[in-house]
Structure 1
Amino acid sequence: MAKVLVIAEHLDGRLNASTARTVSAAQALSADAIDVAVLAADPAAVAAEAAKIAGVARVLAVANAANAQPVAQVLAPQVAKLADGYSHVFVPSTTFGKDLAPCVAALLGVAQVSDLMTVEGSHEFKRPIYAGNAIVTVRAPADRTVVATVRTASWPEAATGGSAPVETVSVDVALPTHTRHLGLAAAKSDRPDLQSARRVVSGGRGVGSKENFEVIYKLADRLGAAVGASRAAVDAGYVPNELQVGQTGKIIAPELYVAVGISGAIQHLTGIKDAGTIVAINKDGDAPIFEIADIGLVGDLFTLLPEIEAALG
């Protein structure tokens, strides 16, 4: 009998789409109940969003001033306490989830299951290894709570239209004081979030410079897309590392992925293999990116991108 607790990811009072994808993974278990926990200083708005996800039985709203920022060491004892009575605890395999899940697993004394991509049984899952070149089956002990991160790129967002009740829950647990939030350093952007965007335009080493990256931003804005980059572009200083896509960056699954000046190293392809349509633009017709691209354009990106923008009207 599976009973799943999904930990909601949210920021600035908005529920992240990764939560709905994690609920999809929980639904694959054919669980008897799927509850979503929202931990925040004021969880009301996020809890109301979570309640609309189809398949959610209850939303547990945990209000605590200490939860104003998603500090894993502060959230983990509360999640571990909430986990009592649940067979599974699922979190998205995002920066948030990768930070939180190991702490929760350690407190519960279990091994974490990482990057869950398919459900084969109540305690049997598949996950990628070797940069996605192999898929391994993992079996978790049936008599222990399963703590898992869900590879959100492998799951669709659960439908909306639900109306789960929201319950205010008080978690009586000692919170650590050795870790505290000092501040958040992040680039400000009006563009969609890279991990949840339906369209992404990424640039690579072939763009040539930080100044030249403006052509990527322009095309992204025309398409209403998020901006990404290869590790080579990040290492060269063209863009900040929060835009990196790939094995050591963000794993994404947009409906449209446009790779500009990206050769297609295996580490980058790992981050985009679940994308719907992949468009590659590169002057090297033998670049590995063309082997997985649905549409390929061979030519100078500085000639092709203006032509594409003109065609967009």
Structure 2
Amino acid sequence: MTKAKVNTGIDINDYKDIWIIAEQREGEIHPVSLELLGIGRELADKLNVELTAILLGDNLDVTANELIKYGANRVMLNKHKLLHTYTTDLYTKVIADLIFERRPEAVLIGATTIGRDLAPRLAARVGTGLTADCTKLDIDKTDGKILQTRPAFGGNLMATIVCKNNRPQMSTIRPGVMKKLPYDSKRKGWVETLTPNLREEDIKAKVIEIIKEAKKRVSLTDAEIIISGGRGLGNKEGFELIEKLANKLGGVVGSSRAAVDNEWIHPSHQVGQTGTTVRPKLYIACGISGAIQHLAGMSESECIVAINKNPDAPIFKIANYSIVGDVYDIIPEIINSLDI
């Protein structure tokens, strides 16, 4: 059994550079990895250090070069047939060994299903702390430490956490909250190809078969237009109207937590602190009052339109356009105007 190596008595001045863990699935880079490169580039520039992407898999040479075009200075490509599919044991071993050898200042991981499995195991292995589900990262101007901000107490306040004595500083970042950099075909960097020493015996839990969902669920993270419904719809039939508007605008359907709790719509549509964080070009909130948990997940949208009968609804405070009225009167009028 591999034992954790505790990082005691370390000299934090020996640690430098920002790392991001580039998540891939069947050779495709997960969108959150590009978002990590965006915030990683910002942090690295403030600290005047390099940004490195850690990529594990097999036959990913082209993918590795793509990460450079999105902001990385260097890509450490760990190639091995046993890394083709994610396993907690092998990914933890490979990345932990790299951390002990190269000593990064910070490691950023996407808060996906894979990231949430990997990050705590990795933090325990290298003996450092982990701030989960961050929505903001910045640099403390006084000492250069990373300020890791995440919602706390059910999203009712934002807590900023600092890892003072251990390295690397580790965070998981919620998908959809950071901006990715534009693709730059002229950006230069280098790929360092590594071959980890791995054996089948290193895998305690093996992936026998991958079964994809028969029904494809909504992708809120990549949507440019989202029409969301909340408790104000009154019943699940209200989402038929929301879907009509979404279809007219070429968008997707979102929802508040209250609508999901009432079983009016599938949880994959939920926007907010306990759902998906989004930043579309257009977000239309229909019958959503604006609980802080929901606002935390959509307040970065470029344009917010709120429709609510209550003129004092909290969502109006962040909306670009506010419409006071019944969604069942207003949405049909919007749909009719789009037919003109």
| TM-score scaled by length of structure 1 | 0.85
Check whether the contact 1:116–1:148 (CA below 8 A) recurs between aligned residues.
no
Question: 1:147 aligned to 2:175?
Answer: no
Check whether the contact 2:226–2:252 (CA below 8 A) recurs between aligned residues.
yes
**CA gap 1:224/1:8 in 2 versus in 1, 3 angstroms:** farther
Query: In the alignment, residue 147 of structure 2 is paired with which amino acid?
Result: F
1: distance between equivalents of 2:20 and 2:126?
16
The partner residue of 1:39 within 56, 79, 84 is: 56
Gaps of 5+ in 2: 1-14
1: distance between equivalents of 2:159 and 2:289?
27
Question: 1:92 aligned to 2:126?
Answer: no
Gaps of 5+ in 1: none
Query: Could you say which residue in structure 2 is the equivalent of 1:62?
Result: 78
Question: 1:251 aligned to 2:277?
Answer: yes
Identical pairs, percent? 33
Query: Could you say which residue in structure 1 is the equivalent of 2:137?
Result: 118
Q: Deviations over 1:117-162 (max 9, x none)?
A: 1312442314033455544332213552122123455432123213
**CA gap 1:70/1:257 in 2 versus in 1, 3 angstroms:** farther
Query: Could you say which residue in structure 1 is the equivalent of 2:32?
Result: 18
**CA gap 1:305/1:89 in 2 versus in 1, 3 angstroms:** same
Check whether the contact 1:206–1:260 (CA below 8 A) recurs between aligned residues.
yes
The partner residue of 1:104 within 122, 125, 130 is: 122
Residues 192-211 of structure 1 correspond to what in structure 2 (within 5 A)? Answer: 193-211=219-237
Q: 1:14, CA displacement in angstroms?
A: 3.1
2: distance between equivalents of 1:273 and 1:266?
10
1: distance between equivalents of 2:208 and 2:317?
44
2: distance between equivalents of 1:177 and 1:205?
45
Residues 1-313 of structure 1 correspond to what in structure 2 (within 5 A)? Answer: 2-29=16-43, 30=45, 31-54=48-71, 56-83=72-99, 84-85=101-102, 86-114=104-132, 115=134, 117-121=136-140, 122-128=144-150, 129-141=152-164, 144-151=167-174, 153-161=176-184, 162-173=187-198, 175-178=202-205, 180=207, 182=209, 183-185=211-213, 187-188=215-216, 193-313=219-339
2: distance between equivalents of 1:131 and 1:186?
33
2: distance between equivalents of 1:275 and 1:4?
27
2: distance between equivalents of 1:276 and 1:255?
5
Larger Rg: 2
2: distance between equivalents of 1:126 and 1:206?
35
**CA gap 1:154/1:168 in 2 versus in 1, 3 angstroms:** same
Q: Deviations over 1:159-214 (max 9, x none)?
A: 3213433343222246432364653447415x6x3123333221223334444423
Check whether the contact 1:18–1:196 (CA below 8 A) recurs between aligned residues.
no
Q: 1:90, CA displacement in angstroms?
A: 0.9
RMSD: 2.8
2: distance between equivalents of 1:211 and 1:11?
36
2:32 alignment partner, SS class: helix
**CA gap 1:311/1:39 in 2 versus in 1, 3 angstroms:** farther
Q: Deviations over 1:19-71 (max 9, x none)?
A: 222122222332421121222344345334323213x1122333444444444
**CA gap 1:238/1:12 in 2 versus in 1, 3 angstroms:** farther
